[in-house]
Structure 1
Amino acid sequence: MRIATFNINGIRAAQRRGFEDWLRARSPDVVALQEVRAPASAIPDGVFGEHHLTYEEGTVPGRNGVAVLTRKEPEAVRSWSGTALLRHPGDDHVEAIDLEAAPLARGLKEFADQGRYVEVDLADAPITVASLYLPKGGLPEHLQKPGRMREAPDGGARYQRKIRFLDAFARQLARSRRTARAAGREFLLMGDLNIAHTRHDVRNWRRSNQAEGFLPEEREWFSSIVSPRTLVDVVRRHHSDVDGPYSWWSWMGQSFANDVGWRIDYHLATPALARASISAGTDRDPAPDRRISDHAPVVVDYDLDGLP
């Protein structure tokens, strides 16, 4: 089974840049999408081909939005807001449906309507798949220096919001993983986590120690959610102790051409599912002027024959 995660940075822009060609050529069975950034009514017709769409668009206009594409209609769907759009191939309806309310971990309520998380139980494999778009965050107040930042200093507000999210999401993630296990399912979290975990995940890691996404406390949090017994970084399992493969490059300058990137898009799988992975990497675009997004798809092939 081929499974991918892809921050598309806006479905309408991604379509113009070749998303449909990538989807046909790579033919993934499951795709987790982040930053769809469109109301349901504005999603281009047919852009997802023969896949079923599960979409949590959120309530922030033009921002966020997470989805899961599947070959077969999911057995179950859960979102933090309690609603999601479920669309079969060829359908054009735009109304989200109410889902069975799922309990939220303490601290997640403020993020529930932002279109940051959706999960589905696959119908053709014993796996629960989740798509996550984690807040980018910012710098703590003591690291903010006016004139040296792309954004105006905010007193650490964006940083504090991300820390609140991380604290709450760790509790929710443990709950989702245990729920999947109790149902006899493996669990796979995919998405843009906006954190580079180790020095192998940032090209210029020495200069990034005081950059959002590579702060020590962010990396410590990441270490707390992965382990050989809970969740495994699948791509790193196949590319141990090497730089990259990166999944994000700035649009600015020569970052892409010089491969000055970050690895911030992940497959985090329960151990048995991680062991079932047979190949893993990123679909890096062939040239700067042929980029679909500022992110690259992260694609993993799994041999599921050995799963219960």
Structure 2
Amino acid sequence: MQEVRCQAADLQGRFEQLAGLQGHFHFAQRKGYSGVGIYTRHEPSDVRVGYGCGEFDPEGRYLELRFDTPTRRLSIISVYFPSGSSGEERQLAKFRFLDNFHPHLMRLKAEREFILCGDINIAHSQADLKNWRSNQKNSGFLPEERAWMTKLLHPTDPTGGLVDVYRHLKPHTTDECYTWWSNRGQAYANNVGWRLDYHLATPALAQLARTEHIYKDQKFSDHAPITVGYELAL
């Protein structure tokens, strides 16, 4: 989960566990802001809250659960990338986050397998948003943001190599791929959406992905949850 917007006291006695799953969280220092979480039925061998960045860790953007055994080093990660839609200052912060976060992912990829589940706040390609022509100068579809994603996903670039798991399973879908809709106008009713939510995985784990689903039966957020089923035993 991303952008949970709560503090530990808000969850106490209510949401530490759900449906037999144990919750782990990274809360923002600022109340009512950001925050990420992961629920799991397996006990992690280690929990990493933040990724060691003095600027962005206080915003509650990164949680990593490690499930290490003698034969496997596996991480499940929840990340909430900054949005730059509120103005130039936050867009510059978003660029700083991208520059800072990329080396972290590359170091992690060199050490272990992982699946990153995140609100990345970037639509990578024209197929990932309805009105791509009119959004080329808007945050979330800027050329610099898309180039960052392209580099991250390049299969042979040593500074890339991650896999967009949804696109691995559904390479050609357009209108059905969206996970976010503006609250303005009739964006949801007209399916004027963006694909901002991703599973990014190391290649070996991406090959274990079997099913994908974007849940739209109920609308309870401006985002729709994305589920990927992996043939993976912990």
TM-score of the aligned structures, taking structure 1 as reference length: 0.69
1:224 partnered with 2:151: yes
Match of 2:102 in 1: 170
- Partners of 2:221 and 2:30 lie apart in 1 by 20
Q: How does 1:54-93 map to 2 (within 5 A)?
A: 54-80=24-50
Distance 2:90 2:8 in 1: 28
Matched with 2:140 is 213
User: Is the CA contact 1:73–1:123 (under 8 Å) kept in the aligned structure 2?
Assistant: no
How far apart, CA to CA, are the structure 2 residues paired with 1:256 and 1:127? 36
Mapping of 1:1-308 within 5 angstroms?
33-43=1-11, 45-46=14-15, 48-80=18-50, 104=52, 108-122=53-67, 127-138=74-85, 156-180=88-112, 186-228=113-155, 230-243=161-174, 244-284=176-216, 286=217, 290-304=218-232
Structure 1 residue identity aligned to 2:14: D
Percent identity reads 40
1:250 partner amino acid: S
The residue matched to 1:122 in structure 2 has which SS?
strand
Larger strand percent: 2
**TM-score scaled by length of structure 2:** 0.89
Residue 79 of structure 1 contacts residue 118 of structure 1 at CA under 8 Å; is this kept in 2?
Answer: yes
Alignment-derived partner of residue 148 in structure 1:
none
Give, in whole Å, the separation in 1 of the partners of 2:173 and 2:37: 30
User: Deviation digits for residues 246-282 of structure 1, max 9, x if unmatched?
Assistant: 1001122221111110000000011111111111131
Q: Which has the higher contact order (CA 8 A, sep 6+)?
A: 1
Displacement, 1:227? Answer: 2.7
Q: Kindly state the Cα deviation for residue 126 of structure 1 after the two structures are TM-superposed.
A: 5.1
Aligned partners of 1:72 and 1:123 also within 8 Å: no
1:122 CA drift (Å): 3.0
Distance 1:68 1:123, change over 3 A: farther
- Of structures 1 and 2, the larger Rg is shown by 1
Matched residues in 2 for 1:249 and 1:171: separation?
Answer: 30
CA distance in 2, matches of 1:165, 1:228: 22
What do residues 192-238 of structure 1 show as CA deviations (whole Å, max 9, x unaligned)? 00000000100111111111100001000111111335210000111
2:181 is paired with a residue of what secondary structure? coil
User: Runs (4+) of structure 1 moved beyond 6 Å?
Assistant: none
Tell me the distance in 1 between the aligned counterparts of 2:137 and 2:97.
20
Gaps of 5+ in 1: 1-32, 81-101, 139-150, 181-185
Where 1:304 maps in the other structure, the secondary structure is coil
| TM-superposed deviation, 1:123 | 6.5
Unmatched runs of 5 consecutive residues or more in structure 2: none
In 2, the alpha carbon distance for the partners of 1:200 and 1:179 equals 33
Q: 1:241 Cα deviation (Å)?
A: 2.4
CA displacement 1:155-197 (0-9 Å, x = unmatched): x2111111111100001111122222xxxxx211111000000
* Residue type of the alignment partner of 1:35: E
Q: Given residue 300 of structure 1, which amino acid in structure 2 is its aligned partner? A: V
**Alpha-carbon separation, structure 1, partners of 2:22 and 2:229:** 20
C-alpha separation in 2, matches of 1:65 and 1:242: 30
| Kept after mapping to 2: 8 A contact 1:34/1:191 | yes
Task: Give the Cα–Cα distance (whole angstroms) in 2 for the partners of residues 282 and 207 of structure 1.
Answer: 25
Question: What letter corresponds to residue 235 of structure 1 in structure 2?
Answer: Y
- The alignment partner of 1:295 has SS state of coil
